[in-house]
Chains A and B, each alone.
Chain A
């Protein structure tokens, strides 16, 4: 019956005026036409009202002239002055701006936003689902200020790396914590270090596990960006937290919903290459070399568009079927999704089945439970990329030969050079070499909410996140990658189990104008991770993909196990004075199994203050500003070490007598956790009746005592020592602007702008080094992702560093070779060949951090149509164009088309007089046509493209809701919607390569990562998709 939501008031007899009558009506959601239950219908001023029932109907005694107010949490309230009607239907619009009243914060607690002393941003699940992307993380770019997302590549099933407010650790995990319904889930990306072959995560990419979450199941996402996330979620959230709330069933009549999506994708941006010169060296034709330094191609020679012929149009279809319903005591939601994606690269495909059942039950007045179980099965086939991959071999295949003919008539690999070092034909590479993963995952989440007393709530949650993956790679015996081993098969079996749980007791009490909340709780995380990898060589049958098909004497295997446990206790105290001032203090103590016993426990607090100045009488009736808050937060957090680092590990030896000896990596029995201290202050304003919303946040986070495995003197007893050290800070600000320029009954225009800018500044590095880098990122030539100290000159006292200022003192720098210069800054030339001398020190040659990024979302609603699009804008930031360097060194670059012109390097000869008053100016001319060593003369610094800007049209969606009048006749359909979406449709950039927003490694690389390194990676394809959504 009606009595479940406790807001029933009695009509006052005295309030009845003349012409009192029964009014009834139906309230629906303006977006999809579904009936809304529990909407408050209030007669303004009369103190009478009611709520809508299970079908959205209400019935109320009213009289003419009264004003009726319809309100519901999360929706904009509507008021209607009554005339003589007896039936009044109403549609309510959800709160469109991101500055809603209630947000889901940590631990699944719904918090009133005004109490929060830090910047928090919410994204609706629907916005993400509308983009039609399979990995919802990609859709977050541009929608959240401070969030920077880098997809590893444009392939299907690619991993995605996320950073919130910049890097947070130079050698640790920089990814935020992903939380689903109050419990963290695993976001691991498989690391190839666990393979027998111990690869550096360049050629293969694996899905990051948070991408398993089905976008159709997401209700909303809240992003916590700074250390305050850790105060609530522990040290795993010291880089921030992305909190996902899934859709729950709503009580009411059962509803079936079905939606589908059909998407076509097409790659349209490619690196440019020259089609003028043939294979050869020093100007002479030689078909047996792989470089293109021969003579010009004779006119009228047919050329082939090998790139265009290789890539195909990708196609994806997704089907979602959902059931939900229930009674007030028990509601449920069952959703199932099937996705099948064929990517733009032949053989690249990805398919996923996700089934999720969630149920909420009210067991008694005081006890309720909410549980869900989600099963995901995903399979990916992903060809190799990077130096081994199809893009590089496509570019190096002679353009005057048809690359689509990749087999000889007898079925063997067609080679042009007949050398064992010849790169594969790209089609041969994707068809003969295999790489696939199959993953099955189950996430269970069970929670119990108990309200023993009116002012006390106890919530307990238990979660299980278990997945297993089987991965397999086959390198064909005729492929360049399989020739040495005569065919190599490597497979792995990965098993992960994450058990976690938390208990929270919250007490709320009011003392006059003061409202206090006290929370105590604890949480536990137990992770078990195991990988068994096996590798064999010398395949007996060339195509048979089974480890049994390899020579047993070549088979090697490797076992990797990691276990870690984390226990936390936390307490928070919030106190608010009226609605004016809020103060909170939080403290958390973590115990981590990965730190030595003496440093295992560490405590970190956080303080926050929030002042809502519009509650002051001064602002009571301001026509301009309806809500204004000033806020400030101070917080500390930490990070623990990866498991098993404290003690060094013994590895088996193959020398005579066998046995064990210590491996390369030293331990550290005194290792301390990493520490962060940060502050944030900002303001939130709502102006002009909430038509304009501004949220401004200024932050600074300083990170201390980074834990790094660093090469050191062997006096440590190891090749790599494990040390604490290094201090760097991120400083910047974010602005969110929410505008509603037009807000009428059937026309609405919302605009959301997210602006982010920050800089990183390195104070010192561990072991007092000049540079810190992760060797995974050293993927091509001599350029790598590094952090440099600001006072680099003291490490290189005699080197002129004037041309190496970009990236100095930055944690997001590119370190690499540059020109050797004299004291005046002139390039030194080698007198024996006229080519520049290269400075073989790793010095800063670029900084990948952008000056600022902007995400601009526009939403238009007119009647039943809605149109939204997202522009992603970036200014500044350098990118290392490794693909261009490869092309240049092969003679395929478009940068120097006329090789017959002699070239003179502008510099001085390195003849001993370079630093004198009269250095010898270079006069040695080099003609590239006959001097192919010209093309290896340029150092890596020449291939760093500086100040890369872009404007991307990321997502465009057009939707049409079939009007309810049309559907009323049909007994079957309750609502229906058609939509059309395009993603990554258009990119405007000054980058000369294909796509500047790619990653040279995958999301598993520790530390700041290889974003801004482009080598052999395809760009994001443009996609167009369409589909329908119906509820029955």
Chain B
């Protein structure tokens, strides 16, 4: 009897340990699970990557800069068919930020690291917000579902609601009781300071609420309340650092990575800074942000016209954004240098949001206070000396009180404050105002727009080509995204 039982018992033991025998399907040379502190730093870089890569093109839409030669498709409110240009935020949102966020949330939830979970959700909420503001309809409900290869699109309204939901969850996560904070170990932006993360979440919610300014349900009070809970000063800015030593860790806009060589400052931004628009007062930010031609005159390119004097030796040749004439220097300037941090969201913008909200509400005094605070902070941010800043604030360029303040003042100063890395947010503003030249004083548009526009201005960017147009075309057809003028169709947020 014993001789029969023993082999069976042995077999049973063998079979029960079978599962662990096969549990070797995790790659020992590349981790497949990691802790939050190892996953967070690359996510910051990908946030920057999406914004920086796409802001090149959006910067042309808003006329921050233009292509050095004339007739460029993006200058003309068009796009590059069959290419992934301006599809980098799509890629970051779904892949390089997207799936890694889920890993941080899972890891944090398991190990009670609620600060990581909160930070992860905050980033994802920010990513939904800024990506939908670029593209409109996105894949929301079916996103990141395994074993699926056809993805339906959801409306922008759904995405906006998701932003609010995620933000609230993140705030609640930060407030959970009894966890030991460890966020500082991976957080190269706020060094684990949870209060700043919460401010960032409110900043994002402020954008979310404020973008609906054309809708009847828009609540200025709500917006003001959110702004007040967000950044308190430039010290709270969400800045992602760059080491700047090699092409892997340098600023995308810097000379080392050499991506901005064909872009040149626009005539519009120059007109705002050299006194043309603002009653002849020269903005002290002008020499810091831009470089004059050899004849000491600041110039920019007219929309879609390029620089006709882009020939060596011409004294009216416009320098590139790094301050050099036609060559790539070793160091750039301002946000165009190798180790300049990238600004994801800054305090001045929030003050201008508050100013606009108060203005719409009718509270001119509050609007004026916020306006002046924002303008002052913006000049500090660029690095203007306190003396020059105060001189400018006292000059004729700046309204003296709430009565003199116009919506155009607010939007133009916001336009300058967001120059470069804030192009995506500026574009939201311009689309809310439908490119109104009464707000954007002095602006002119290309005479020959991109052919497929049928004369209309651009209002959105098509989803990334090699992700959606190649592999998900049926879903695009269902929302009309395959039509040639789809990029001119206004987004939900700017509609009443």
B248: Cβ under 8 A from any A Cβ? yes
List chain A residues, Cβ under 8 A from B95.
662, 714, 717-719
Q: Check A660–B90 contact: CB distance below 8 A.
A: no
Does A5 lie at the interface of the complex (its beta carbon under 8 Å from any beta carbon of B)?
Answer: no
Assess whether A565 is in contact with B24, with CB atoms less than 8 Å apart. yes
Residue of A at shortest CB range from B153? A715
Which stretch of A350-358, A639-647, A682-690 is in the interface?
A: A639-647
Among A215-223, A224-232, A651-659, the stretch in contact with B: A651-659
Q: How far is the CA of A592 from the CA of B23 in the complex (A)?
A: 10
Distance between Cα atoms of A649 and B31 in the complex (Å): 6
Do A594 and B151 touch across chains, with their CB atoms under 8 A apart?
A: no
Q: Does A56 contact B (CB under 8 A)?
A: no
Q: Chain B: which residue is nearest A769 at the CB level?
A: B471
A920 interface residue, CB < 8 Å from B?
Answer: no
Q: Given the interface contacts A714-B94, A715-B151, A719-B95, does A563 sit within 8 Å of B24 by beta carbon?
A: yes
Question: Given contacts A564-B24, A717-B95, are A659 and B144 in contact (CB under 8 A)?
Answer: no
Residues 666-692 (chain A) with a chain B CB within 8 angstroms:
666-670
A593 contacts partner chain B, Cβ-Cβ < 8 Å:
yes
Known contacts A650-B34, A712-B471, A714-B94; A593 and B22 CB within 8 A of each other: yes
8 Å CB contact of B45 from A567, A591, A650, A653: A653
| CB of A714, distance to nearest CB on chain B (Å) | 4
Q: How far is the CA of A668 from the CA of B149 in the complex (A)?
A: 12
Please tell me if the beta carbons of A717 and B149 are within 8 angstroms of each other in the complex. no
B258 at the interface (CB under 8 A from A): no
The smallest beta-carbon distance between B191 and chain A, in angstroms, is: 12
* Interface residues as binary, B22-52 with A (CB distance below 8 Å gives 1, 0 otherwise): 1111111111111001111111111000000
Q: Closest Cβ of chain A: how far from B356's Cβ, in Å?
A: 34
Q: Does B146 contact A (CB under 8 A)?
A: yes
Contacts of B29 in A (CB 8 A): 559-561
Say yes or no: A711-B25 contact (C-beta < 8 A), given A660-B38, A716-B144: no
Which single member of B45, B100, B148, B242 contacts A716 (CB below 8 Å)?
A: B148
Q: B43: which A residues are within 8 A, CB to CB? A: 661
User: In the complex the two chains form, what is the Cα distance from A360 to B38 in whole Å?
Assistant: 58
Q: Do residues B38 and A715 form an inter-chain contact, with CB atoms below 8 A?
A: no
Q: Does A767 contact B (CB under 8 A)?
A: yes
Which of the residues B32, B91, B188, B464 comes within 8 Å of A650, measured between beta carbons?
A: B32
> Which residue of B has the minimal Cβ distance to A652?
B30
* Max chain A C-beta neighbours (<10 A), residue from B23, B139, B243, B467: B467
Collect the chain A residues with CB atoms within 8 Å of residue B19's CB.
597
With both beta carbons as reference points, the residue of chain B lying nearest to A650 in the complex is identified as B31
Per-position contact with A for B175-199: 1 when CB-CB < 8 Å, else 0? Answer: 0000000000010100000000000
Chain B, residues 464-481, CB within 8 Å of chain A (1/0): the string is: 101110111000000000
CB-CB contacts of B233-252 with A at 8 A, as 1s and 0s? 00000001111001011000
Smallest CB separation, A555 vs chain B (Å): 15
Residue A301 lies at the interface, judged by CB distance under 8 Å to chain B? no
Q: In angstroms, how far is the closest chain A Cβ from the Cβ of B335?
A: 16
Say yes or no: A767-B149 contact (C-beta < 8 A), given A657-B188, A713-B467, A714-B464: yes
Taking CB atoms, residues of chain B closer than 8 Å to A612 are: none
Q: Are B100 and A661 closer than 8 Å at their CB atoms?
A: yes
Interface status of A365 (Cβ within 8 A of chain B): no
In the complex, which range does the number of interface residues on chain A fall in? 35 or more
**B18 at the A interface (CB under 8 A):** yes
The closest CB in chain B to the CB of A591 belongs to B22
Determine whether A254 belongs to the interface, using a CB cutoff of 8 Å to chain B.
no
Which residues from chain A contact B22 at a C-beta distance below 8 Å?
Answer: 565, 567, 591-593, 597, 600
Q: Is the beta-carbon distance between A656 and B27 smaller than 8 angstroms?
A: no
Flag whether B96 is at the interface (Cβ < 8 A).
yes
Closest residue of chain A to B96, judged by CB?
Answer: A661
Q: When chains A and B are docked, how far (Å) is the Cα of A650 from the Cα of B94?
A: 16
The answer to whether A693 has its CB under 8 Å from any CB of chain B is no
Identify which of residues 452-489 in chain B touch chain A, using a CB-to-CB cut-off of 8 Å. Answer: 464, 466-468, 470-472
In the complex with contacts A592-B22, A647-B25, A655-B248, A718-B99 CB distance below 8 A? yes
Q: How far is the CB of B297 from chain A (nearest CB, A)?
A: 37
Contact yes or no, B147 A653, CB < 8 A = no
Q: Which bucket holds chain B's interface residue count? A: 35 or more
* Cα-based distance from A755 to B246 in the complex (angstroms): 62
Q: Could you say which residues of chain B place their CB within 8 Å of the CB of A669?
A: 146
Q: What are the residues of chain B within 8 A of A595 when measuring CB–CB?
A: 25
Using known A-B contacts A649-B27, A650-B31, A716-B149, determine if residue A661 contacts B46 with beta carbons closer than 8 Å.
Answer: yes
- Distance (whole angstroms) from the CB of B85 to the closest CB of chain A: 16
Give A597's nearest chain B residue, CB to CB. B19
User: B467's contact among A564, A594, A714, by CB below 8 Å, is which?
Assistant: A714
Q: At the interface, yes or no: A723 with Cβ under 8 Å from chain B?
A: yes
Cross-interface CB contact of A713 among B18, B45, B46, B472, cutoff 8 Å: B472
> Which A residues are in CB contact (< 8 Å) with B420?
none
Is A593 touching B144 in the complex (CB atoms < 8 A)?
no
Find chain A residues with CB under 8 A from B472 CB: 712-713, 715
What separation, in Å, do the CA atoms of A103 and B34 have in the docked complex?
A: 54
Q: Which of B26, B30, B151, B466 has the most CB of A within 10 A?
A: B30
List, in ascending order, chain B residues with CB within 8 A of A38's CB: none
Looking at the assembled complex, report how far the CB atom of B10 sits from the nearest CB atom of chain A, in whole angstroms. 14
Residues of B within 8 A of A653 (CB): 41-42, 45
With an 8 A cutoff between CB atoms, is A94 at the interface?
no
Report if A721 contacts B (CB, 8 A): yes
Question: Is B143 an interface position by the 8 A CB rule?
Answer: yes
Residue pair B151, A713 in contact (C-beta under 8 Å): yes
A413 to chain B, nearest CB (A): 30
Q: Looking across the interface, which residue of chain A has its beta carbon closest to that of B32?
A: A647
Cβ-based interface call for B109 (8 A) = no
1/0 contact string of B156-183 vs chain A (CB within 8 Å): 0000000000000000000000000000
Partner of A668, one of B23, B25, B146, B188: B146
Complex CA distance for A88 and B250, rounded to whole angstroms: 93
Say whether A482 faces chain B, with CB atoms less than 8 Å apart: no
Taking CB atoms, residues of chain B closer than 8 Å to A287 are: none
Residue of B nearest to A670 (CB): B147
Interchain nearest-CB distance for A776 vs B (Å)? 19
| Assembled-state Cα–Cα distance A663/B241 (Å) | 23
Contact B139–A654 (Cβ < 8 Å): no
Chain A residues whose C-beta falls within 8 Å of the C-beta of B186 in the assembled complex: 657, 659
A655 to B250, CA, bound (A): 8
Does B142 interact with chain A (Cβ within 8 Å)? yes
Closest to A524 in B: B21
Given contacts A561-B27, A718-B95, A768-B149, A662 and B100 within 8 Å (CB-CB): yes
Chain A proximity of B490: nearest CB distance (Å): 24
List residues 261-281 of chain B with CB under 8 A from any CB of chain A. none
Residue pair A656, B242 in contact (C-beta under 8 Å) = yes
Q: Does B319 make an interface contact (CB < 8 A)?
A: no
Known interface pairs A717-B99, A723-B147; A657-B91 also in contact (CB < 8 Å): no
Task: Establish whether residues B91 and A714, one from each chain, have CB atoms under 8 Å apart when the complex forms.
Answer: yes
Please, which residues of chain B bring their CB within 8 A of the CB of A650? 30-34, 39
A200 within 8 A of B: no
Question: Given the complex, which residues of B lie within 8 Å of A108, measured CB to CB?
Answer: none
B118 within 8 Å of A (CB atoms): no
Say yes or no: is B98 at the interface (Cβ < 8 Å to chain A): yes
In the complex, 19 of the A-B residue pairs with CB atoms within 8 angstroms, ordered by the A residue number, are: A559-B29, A597-B19, A600-B22, A643-B25, A648-B32, A650-B30, A651-B30, A655-B46, A657-B41, A659-B42, A661-B39, A662-B100, A670-B147, A713-B150, A714-B95, A715-B144, A715-B151, A716-B145, A721-B149
Binding site for A on B (CB under 8 A): 18-19, 21-34, 37-46, 90-91, 94-96, 98-100, 102-103, 139, 142-151, 186, 188, 240-243, 246, 248-249, 464, 466-468, 470-472
Query: Can you name 20 extra interface pairs (CB under 8 A) apart from A567-B22, A655-B249?
Result: A562-B27, A567-B21, A595-B25, A600-B22, A647-B25, A647-B27, A649-B27, A650-B30, A657-B44, A658-B38, A660-B38, A660-B42, A661-B46, A662-B96, A662-B99, A711-B470, A713-B467, A715-B148, A716-B149, A717-B98
Q: Which 8 A-B pairs have the closest CB atoms?
A: A657-B41, A654-B248, A655-B45, A715-B151, A767-B149, A713-B472, A714-B94, A717-B99
